[in-house]
């Protein structure tokens, strides 16, 4: 198996969620306990941001995800179309694409 040339980071505010994720991982993910409305990484740090959320994504969280993804890269959020479109309409200068797949609905945001 070839070593990958990227690093995975998991973020959640709940320690219980992080513990569960750590058990499922193969030890190749850095887990960070933090609020998605204040992501503790610099601007344009990540090549991609993927958010899997069963609840409404706050506008501040979406802004933070866009802030930490590199220019020209994407934020992908698994969420309901209506809720995301309401948030997306408030944030300008980004391309939004909604898709429905066998795995569920998601919106892709290109910076």
Statement: residue 89 has pLDDT above 90: no
Cβ density class 88-102: b for 16+ within 10 Å, e for less: beeeeeeeeeeeeee
CATH of 39-110, one of 3.40.50.300, 1.10.1740.10, 3.40.50.150, 3.20.20.70: 3.40.50.150
Top mean pLDDT of 3-7, 53-57, 89-93, 97-101 is at 3-7
φ/ψ of residue 65, rounded to 5? -60, -40
Q: Are 47 and 76 in contact (CB under 8 A)?
A: no
- With bands split at pLDDT 50, 70 and 90, how would you rate the model's confidence at 52? confident
Statement: residue 40 has pLDDT above 60: yes
Q: What is the pLDDT of residue 32?
A: 93
Helix 81-88 vs helix 59-68: crossing angle, to nearest 10: 70
Q: What is the pLDDT of residue 44?
A: 94
86 to each of 15, 52, 53, 62, how far by Cα in Å? 30, 18, 16, 12
Q: Scan for tokens 């609905």, then name that residue.
A: 105
**Domain map (residue ranges) of the chain:** 1-34, 39-110
Stretch 35-51: mean pLDDT = 90
pTM over cut 0.75: no
């Amino acid at each position: 198996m070839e070593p990958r040339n990227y690093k995975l980071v998991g973020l959640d505010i709940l320690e219980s969620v992080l513990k569960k994720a750590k058990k499922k991982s193969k030890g190749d993910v850095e887990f960070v306990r933090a609020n998605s409305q204040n992501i503790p990484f610099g601007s344009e740090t990540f090549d991609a941001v993927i958010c899997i959320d069963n609840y409404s994504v706050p506008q501040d969280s979406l802004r933070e995800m866009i802030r930490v993804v590199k220019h020209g890269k994407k934020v992908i959020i698994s969420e309901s179309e209506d809720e995301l479109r309401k948030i997306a309409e408030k944030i300008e200068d980004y391309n939004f694409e909604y898709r429905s797949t066998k795995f569920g609905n998601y919106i892709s945001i290109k910076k």
